A and B are shown apart, each in its own frame.
Chain A
């Protein structure tokens, strides 16, 4: 046997010795690594935090002479990467949409007739004037790279009777300097998905009697589904949450057409979709807890578990089967509610991105599975039925109701003035809220939909890197399921 053959044999042996879930864990590590490389690629080739550049501008008001300066030098070019936060079609200067000679604080420029036919993009917070009409070329929520140059010009405007001279620096680009970053993102994203599913496949291949165990999981899941979906509790909960989601979908669609100055204004369909996620979580989580309450604990009281445990089925398979079945009990009506809610939202407002819709549905089902598994942990470990209900309600109150208060309390403890106006736009507060959100499956659902709306993991969403959101999305259901199976397996020790 040659050295090469020996090496191959050794590698094969080492691979075969690995435990069942090692390939999946390795694939998750690889996906995270790739997501970090993905992010690093963009950080090294572009400016990925345009908002910071825009935020660092200085406005000096010296009598009638105002100046707007950036830290960069006039003539400097920077390639920015970011998300189009507003629809370019609404940002094209037309003669009926603005009054020449008026100063716009948000855009930091004085309107003039020169702007006709040009587009003011909002790229992740920074305003860049493009010397073209982009209304049919780019759309809201798209991730772009744009090479913009810092220019300076002088204009005057009437400020309550005073003529102000504004020496303004601003970022300008040509239409050909804009590119969709999605092509590179898609390569990364596809590679990440492939790695994840390969790891999952290789792990599942190692499960002994996988086909048999999958059959048993499905047998038990179908039983739970048939029992659960017909229960009066689920019928009542299903009707309530369907009506609620439809209502919220319609409202969020309608608010897209409302007054932009209103506190309730919803800027775009993708934003509305993210908000709809919260309302789905709010009601569906209660249903997930409601159907899981009776599992295990009640079965133990009714002595139905003893006969089941004497059948040729693993304890893990029982937990997985029950978790899948109960998730379907909530998931099927929730899917109908999600689709109806979306239809009403789209009917009253705009169409969100296709990837966002898929994420809204798929991540919603993952969220339901997570909550069912979470509640199963209580159902397995609790000593009385009252305990199961109380723990479940406590979890729902924490995740769906008081989480924001918790964020405010922690932010306050960390020195953020939560009574100040506009404190929610403070990047430090946003970062705390986002990171804490990873500990709440409802927020993970919202963030994941927000992330996948952009079809990339290489962006930061409210201070959270995309890979961390993906990790939270994967880890939540796995951890809850693993905990539930571990608790149930522990009982074999008596």
Chain B
């Protein structure tokens, strides 16, 4: 069983607005008793619609915000009152990467490295290795203001990893990156995780989460509504029926009625797109050869068959009440 590295217990957090005399004029509850468990060595994907409380949770974990109540426990110790100690164990990559534009990558690493108890030589050595790993070695003497967004994200990741953290927390790490950047980041993260780094990331890009993460937590309205391993989700998907989209020339009602009576078919929908009849059938994946044989035997001319698998997105939408 994986040992819990991060445990969030019944955390509540509200944003309050006060008037000039300090009286509370409005309150928005971002976290309403959030519970979360991240095991050592996991890549934990943190999912939720906009305003679900993902960024607030991340800010509470890294100490930018203080929870109103509840406990955030890292490695068995509560972070309350030990913020500085835990900040040494955490690396953070924010969604909007803000770096000092006048500094070069090397100078940035020296500056941020100065907050850890590291010698200049060690910062330089680690910095050089990280810049090489993230493909920034050539640009290490260029000013950050000249960097593209992707380069800035990579540099921010170098900064986050400089103290060799036990946990890397990332808020929407792929936002603003082009597909090549996303792929490169995915490779780096998997590599880091192989070396024992626990990663927590929030994302809207569900395919990314499915690709990278080993575990997923879905939150909505500041509460955890589902926590599951990706393998568990895969099994669930496999158990479920898939949808098959067929484009055919004609689809007589007689055949439709006949199919509807078959146990292998769970549902059947039909619509005309002007050029073809589009038939959506819900059935198990193993029955695809059977249905194609059946339709061909009935003389149906099939132009295309497109299986539509259940995905994390569907589970996410279902759990968060979306369509």
A4, CB-defined interface residue at 8 Å: no
B185, CB-defined interface residue at 8 Å: no
Chain A contacts with B in 7-50, Cβ cutoff 8 A: none
B294, CB-defined interface residue at 8 Å: no
A219, CB-defined interface residue at 8 Å: yes
- Contact of A216 with B13 in the complex, beta carbons under 8 Å: no
Per the CB 8 Å criterion, the residue count for chain A at the interface is 22
Docked complex Cα distance between A247 and B261 (Å): 101
- Contact of B99 with A307 in the complex, beta carbons under 8 Å: yes
A-contact 0/1 string along B57-95, CB 8 Å cutoff: 000001111100000000000000000110110111010
Contacts of A304 in B (CB 8 A): 98-100
B-contact 0/1 string along A219-236, CB 8 Å cutoff: 100010001000000000
Given contacts A227-B102, A303-B96, contact A492 B115 (CB under 8 A): no
Contacts of B97 in A (CB 8 A): 303, 307
Chain B contacts with A in 90-126, Cβ cutoff 8 A: 90-92, 94, 96-100, 102, 111-112, 114-117
B-contact 0/1 string along A187-227, CB 8 Å cutoff: 00000000000000000000001001000100100010001
What residue in chain B is nearest A212 (Cβ atoms)? B117
B159, CB-defined interface residue at 8 Å: yes
Given contacts A310-B63, A311-B87, contact A494 B98 (CB under 8 A): no
- Contact of B114 with A219 in the complex, beta carbons under 8 Å: yes
A136, CB-defined interface residue at 8 Å: no
Among A212, A227, A312, contact of B100 (Cβ-Cβ < 8 Å)? A227
Contacts of B98 in A (CB 8 A): 299, 302-307
Given contacts A304-B100, A306-B94, contact A494 B87 (CB under 8 A): no
- Contact of B64 with A492 in the complex, beta carbons under 8 Å: yes
B16, CB-defined interface residue at 8 Å: yes
Docked complex Cα distance between A299 and B94 (Å): 14
B-contact 0/1 string along A228-249, CB 8 Å cutoff: 0000000000000000000000
B268, CB-defined interface residue at 8 Å: no
B156, CB-defined interface residue at 8 Å: yes
B-contact 0/1 string along A472-494, CB 8 Å cutoff: 00000000000000000000111
- Contact of A223 with B87 in the complex, beta carbons under 8 Å: no
B206, CB-defined interface residue at 8 Å: no
What residue in chain A is nearest B85 (Cβ atoms)? A312
Docked complex Cα distance between A239 and B64 (Å): 39
Docked complex Cα distance between A313 and B62 (Å): 12
Distance (whole angstroms) from the CB of A388 to the closest CB of chain B: 18
Among A209, A307, A314, contact of B156 (Cβ-Cβ < 8 Å)? A307
Docked complex Cα distance between A492 and B62 (Å): 11
Among A209, A310, A313, contact of B90 (Cβ-Cβ < 8 Å)? A310
B14, CB-defined interface residue at 8 Å: yes
Given contacts A219-B114, A313-B115, A494-B15, contact A307 B84 (CB under 8 A): no
Docked complex Cα distance between A311 and B112 (Å): 8
Docked complex Cα distance between A309 and B61 (Å): 12
A-contact 0/1 string along B139-179, CB 8 Å cutoff: 00000000000000000100110000000000000000000
Chain B contacts with A in 34-71, Cβ cutoff 8 A: 56, 62-66
Docked complex Cα distance between A303 and B16 (Å): 21
Contacts of A216 in B (CB 8 A): 114-115
Chain A contacts with B in 303-360, Cβ cutoff 8 A: 303-307, 309-314
Contacts of B30 in A (CB 8 A): 494
Chain A contacts with B in 267-320, Cβ cutoff 8 A: 299, 302-307, 309-314
Among A219, A305, A307, A493, contact of B66 (Cβ-Cβ < 8 Å)? A493
- Contact of A307 with B94 in the complex, beta carbons under 8 Å: yes
Contacts of A311 in B (CB 8 A): 87, 112, 115-116
- Contact of B116 with A312 in the complex, beta carbons under 8 Å: yes
Distance (whole angstroms) from the CB of A85 to the closest CB of chain B: 48
- Contact of A494 with B13 in the complex, beta carbons under 8 Å: yes
Residue with the highest number of chain B CB atoms closer than 10 Å, among A219, A227, A312: A312
- Contact of B99 with A310 in the complex, beta carbons under 8 Å: no
- Contact of A492 with B112 in the complex, beta carbons under 8 Å: no
What residue in chain A is nearest B171 (Cβ atoms)? A306
6 closest pairs, A vs B, by CB? Answer: A303-B98, A310-B92, A311-B115, A312-B87, A304-B98, A303-B96
Besides A302-B98, A493-B66, 10 new A-B residue pairs in contact (Cβ under 8 A), listed by A number: A219-B114, A299-B98, A303-B98, A305-B98, A306-B98, A309-B64, A311-B115, A312-B88, A313-B84, A494-B16
Show the binding face of A for B, using Cβ within 8 Å. Answer: 209, 212, 216, 219, 223, 227, 299, 302-307, 309-314, 492-494
